[in-house]
Structure 1
């Protein structure tokens, strides 16, 4: 039935285009209802294909399902999905669409193209220490994330989803066995990091198991009979399915898989690694840049930022070279003042209070979605980076800035102001929440994520600190330079690892030589890049493009340049490939120049 409905919509679309074309000739194009239906269908089918996406958006319709993303059947469904919409887009010429719809068409075309390109590569490494399904499911299992546990139906939904998850766990092992045959496996150092994550579920007693958390936190109003039944069923699925599956994966990865683990660090170490890395660069930067081009940009940015860091070193009166200053900042006791994790959270809330009065000067559009700072969950804290999780589309679940605090006595605050701007306000929280709240966007664009745009925006906002009343302390300003340096280094080490044969150790040493992060933090970061080639490139490439566009606007518009309106222009599109953002800003500059 769903296929027939799509065919009818497509057929109607041709007629609708003709009618809208007539309206366009007389009154200008105001919109094409058939195209809007296409965009809505794409969104709704996408939620059915990826129920986790629906859950994170606050849509509960599919909370009881989890497709096996690793199966051939699912891959075919996904390929058919993108191929069908790719073809349907051909029914709509740009001349018969409104300006907003033309942008949507271009974005949807990119989505179909890049995802179909990605399906040409087999996924033989479904589990890693940073990005994989088991970590996401573990986050949901704690009972405080996007999966709701407010009703008996919610609890039953999670039980059903766990049944499906068991199938995924079995397929993950099968894929890794196939990967051994295909010589496409994780590096040994990453396998080593996965083992304790699996053990954290496989080893605890039932009542201490992460997946048992909802049972220990029943909401008020549950009957004794419901509690008794759910407690029994949760205990059964955990002990009979989840724990055995985790134990089996752990033992396999510790033995056979470890023995076959790669000695190489970069993706060049697998068959078709160069082609895969080119795809990853395109996916994460939304450009056709080469690894060599990006590597050189990184080297140039590292040199520029090193010069700026020298100025701060002189300002605070430190005698010694820059590398010695990094050690000074890493180990300065005054920058590690806390003894309780809550003090770190309170520190970020204080930064929030300091920024609030200044935000109006730069932004007239601000999100309604609430915002919170939370500590990262214990089960993933050791390998996690600070991160932002979006609120629900309806705004009932807040945006959350997660902060890992594995050892509070070693938590260094020198870059916290910068980190808050990036992950929270006006970085990810503003960009994502304003997109989700923008009623002018079709639903699928409210939840799109292109790292070059999203991470580029967040890195750009770090440069706004002085305008927002921050960076008064030279160490906090150095933290901003350090964070930008961190992203510049990523251009060098990611391309080094994946296109120039760099080892994990060489990448770690390059980072130690050029930034003030701890060796443990740098090691975790390098292993992150090893797990997901290309993702680390998006931040700096996106930031440089947004800075370039702002500079162009300031130069062209002079005194007429309005920073609030520039930010509106960037943010109102939602996530888009950089070429589309550049085209939009250039059109805005041209329009403003005429007034």
Structure 2
């Protein structure tokens, strides 16, 4: 064969091989947006209520039985799969913003996979040999039985606008009953393994369960949607739904609550432990270290966090002394705390509507200055609403985001168990935290950001979400509030509350503190009522590590602001700084710091 033709043939063959190799590589390395999309579908499927919360309707008829063995094995498989997919990419194959999103996803999958590893089915390091939290699935706060009851009233995120919505809810409740069945099975297993709740938490849970037993149908929270049909629904549909809801409550729901109450009272309570922290459970120390990592996105240990908490308590106490002296109070801080708890001028309301109106007035004042600190503001609105009565006694103020499409506004829930003793000392700081520019700004901007993959739209990293909200409390003077020294002291008191959490949470779960010691430490160092402090300490007992996220996130954001102000001097722009914090979704602290350091360098140039 002619040499030139041979060379051409070889070149064609070589080029064909390269094209085939390139095609195979392209097929293997699909667009990262596809991986992000697949991950978000997975996230919605494993938490259908969160999908509903975000405005997606395809899962409105289901609840995930997240304590079942099948569910846990599924999580393990899928998190491992997504980590394998992400390992195919590097920073040269995706854009800068997608690389940041990829790293957030990778962190999330890695830490969640670590949490569902099981030594029975895999060889793992001792940190994976954790006491199973699925063996303690119900507790007195932030528990599914409370969330479902909140949805049941028809005024939360579960829609009740059509006949399909009403039937979806009954289907979702069937799944809920299956979850309760599994809960009883798992708790019995926990009793056998010595993995049980502290007795005091179970005692607090019993009235919540009993509140749905021996109650007239029309007073039952699960019947309320029948008493509030939407306009336009036919009488025939109303009659059918009324009959179906009444039958479900009578024949299924109430008997299940009776069964659960009997189990908790007669079998579980006698086996509950008298101790209060994770340290007293099998592998409790390792479990708590994992939860620290999960909730703070750091590698700090309990001793480091405890010492940081003590340092912050001392610093904030010094600031409190200054304000106390400005007010003219003669006495020590503890006496001042007691005076605030009982000061009638700080308890001015006669009905709950006045409490709500006060928060709306704070909103009006802040609105006058918000543009001076923020160039990014959300489109979504929000409402201030009283917390539902069934959970009000144990609830804290909280924010629930609106739907992504804006059809459902965000809700700032305020517990008002006794309006006559409702104390206003924290109201301005509380509004800044839960509403503007705290949770409402951050979470709304996050889910409205079309440049982010959808999996970054929900709440996600608590250390970022709560850290931002606590940082937002410090912006009050810049936003025209805290002109009253009592309100400024209220802000210091709320910051102190979060600093105390570092001490008390680690004290309970890593240093052998009792519930009573934790309560007393809080009483000695903050102005919260004893009733509120007891509820908070019991919250830390039920949800170890979660309360650490607030202060650690806030300190990191404040540290980055101080660093930027020093580095940039007169070129520092607070509106741009806040945009940099809020325009990438919820980030682990290590990635947030990396991003802001890069921004500081770019601004310096």
Among 31, 34, 41, the residue aligned to 1:34: 31
- Give the 5 Å matches for 1:55-94: 55-94=52-91
Distance in 2 separating the partners of 1:520 and 1:470:
28
Assess if the C-alpha contact under 8 Å between 1:452 and 1:542 holds in 2. Answer: yes
Instruction: Please state whether the residue corresponding to 1:238 is helix, strand or coil.
Output: helix
Gaps of 5+ in 2: 1-21, 118-129
Following superposition, the deviation at residue 14 of structure 1 comes to: 4.0
Aligned match of 2:14: none
Aligned match of 1:427: 438
The CA deviation string for residues 362-394 of structure 1, in whole angstroms up to 9 with x for no partner, is 001100001110000111101000000011111
Distance in 1 separating the partners of 2:148 and 2:246:
17
Instruction: Please state whether the residue corresponding to 1:81 is helix, strand or coil.
Output: helix
Among 101, 106, 112, the residue aligned to 1:104: 101
Distance in 2 separating the partners of 1:288 and 1:458:
22
Aligned match of 1:260: 271
Distance in 2 separating the partners of 1:162 and 1:459:
36
Distance in 1 separating the partners of 2:23 and 2:146:
43
Aligned match of 1:53: 50
- Give the 5 Å matches for 1:485-496: 485-496=496-507
Aligned match of 1:22: none
Distance in 1 separating the partners of 2:350 and 2:266:
39
Distance in 2 separating the partners of 1:13 and 1:226:
56
How has the CA–CA distance of structure 1 residues 591 and 228 changed in structure 2, closer, same or farther, with 3 Å as cutoff?
same
Distance in 2 separating the partners of 1:13 and 1:288:
39
Instruction: Please state whether the residue corresponding to 2:298 is helix, strand or coil.
Output: coil
Distance in 1 separating the partners of 2:151 and 2:451:
31
Assess if the C-alpha contact under 8 Å between 2:395 and 2:415 holds in 1. Answer: yes
Assess if the C-alpha contact under 8 Å between 1:374 and 1:403 holds in 2. Answer: yes
Give the alignment's TM-score, normalised by structure 1. Answer: 0.94
Assess if the C-alpha contact under 8 Å between 1:296 and 1:492 holds in 2. Answer: yes
Distance in 1 separating the partners of 2:23 and 2:251:
51
**1:503 matches 2:514:** yes
Following superposition, the deviation at residue 448 of structure 1 comes to: 4.1
Instruction: Please state whether the residue corresponding to 2:384 is helix, strand or coil.
Output: strand
Aligned match of 1:472: 483
Which of 214-223 and 502-511 deviates more?
A: 214-223
Give the alignment's TM-score, normalised by structure 2. Answer: 0.93
Distance in 1 separating the partners of 2:43 and 2:429:
35
- Give the 5 Å matches for 1:444-483: 444-483=455-494
Aligned match of 2:414: 403
Distance in 1 separating the partners of 2:398 and 2:355:
15
Instruction: Please state whether the residue corresponding to 1:400 is helix, strand or coil.
Output: strand
Q: After TM superposition, where is structure 1 displaced by more than 6 Å over at least 4 residues in a row?
A: none
- Give the 5 Å matches for 1:362-401: 362-401=373-412
Among 172, 181, 204, the residue aligned to 1:170: 181
Distance in 2 separating the partners of 1:56 and 1:151:
17
Instruction: Please state whether the residue corresponding to 2:233 is helix, strand or coil.
Output: coil
Assess if the C-alpha contact under 8 Å between 1:282 and 1:288 holds in 2. Answer: yes
Following superposition, the deviation at residue 16 of structure 1 comes to: 6.4
Following superposition, the deviation at residue 148 of structure 1 comes to: 0.4
Distance in 2 separating the partners of 1:551 and 1:212:
53
**1:581 matches 2:592:** yes
Aligned match of 2:244: 233
Distance in 1 separating the partners of 2:46 and 2:428:
39
The CA deviation string for residues 56-106 of structure 1, in whole angstroms up to 9 with x for no partner, is 111111111123222111112211111111111111122111101110111
Distance in 1 separating the partners of 2:515 and 2:23:
55
**1:297 matches 2:294:** no
Aligned match of 1:206: 217
Assess if the C-alpha contact under 8 Å between 1:14 and 1:92 holds in 2. Answer: no
Distance in 2 separating the partners of 1:14 and 1:556:
44
Assess if the C-alpha contact under 8 Å between 2:138 and 2:144 holds in 1. Answer: yes
Distance in 2 separating the partners of 1:341 and 1:572:
36
Distance in 1 separating the partners of 2:37 and 2:369:
38
Distance in 2 separating the partners of 1:74 and 1:304:
45
State which structure, 1 or 2, has the greater radius of gyration over its C-alpha atoms.
2
Distance in 2 separating the partners of 1:133 and 1:13:
46
Distance in 2 separating the partners of 1:343 and 1:50:
36
The CA deviation string for residues 309-346 of structure 1, in whole angstroms up to 9 with x for no partner, is 11111111111111000001111000000010110000
Following superposition, the deviation at residue 12 of structure 1 comes to: 8.2
Aligned match of 1:306: 317
Distance in 2 separating the partners of 1:169 and 1:452:
30
Instruction: Please state whether the residue corresponding to 2:385 is helix, strand or coil.
Output: strand
Aligned match of 2:550: 539
Following superposition, the deviation at residue 49 of structure 1 comes to: 2.3
Following superposition, the deviation at residue 301 of structure 1 comes to: 0.5
Aligned match of 2:284: 273
Assess if the C-alpha contact under 8 Å between 1:336 and 1:410 holds in 2. Answer: yes
Q: CA RMSD in A?
A: 1.3
How has the CA–CA distance of structure 1 residues 559 and 16 changed in structure 2, closer, same or farther, with 3 Å as cutoff?
farther
Distance in 2 separating the partners of 1:246 and 1:488:
38
**1:118 matches 2:129:** no
Assess if the C-alpha contact under 8 Å between 2:466 and 2:553 holds in 1. Answer: yes
Assess if the C-alpha contact under 8 Å between 2:306 and 2:503 holds in 1. Answer: yes
Assess if the C-alpha contact under 8 Å between 1:17 and 1:92 holds in 2. Answer: no
The CA deviation string for residues 98-125 of structure 1, in whole angstroms up to 9 with x for no partner, is 1011101111111111111111342211
Aligned match of 1:549: 560
Distance in 2 separating the partners of 1:559 and 1:504:
49
Aligned match of 2:579: 568
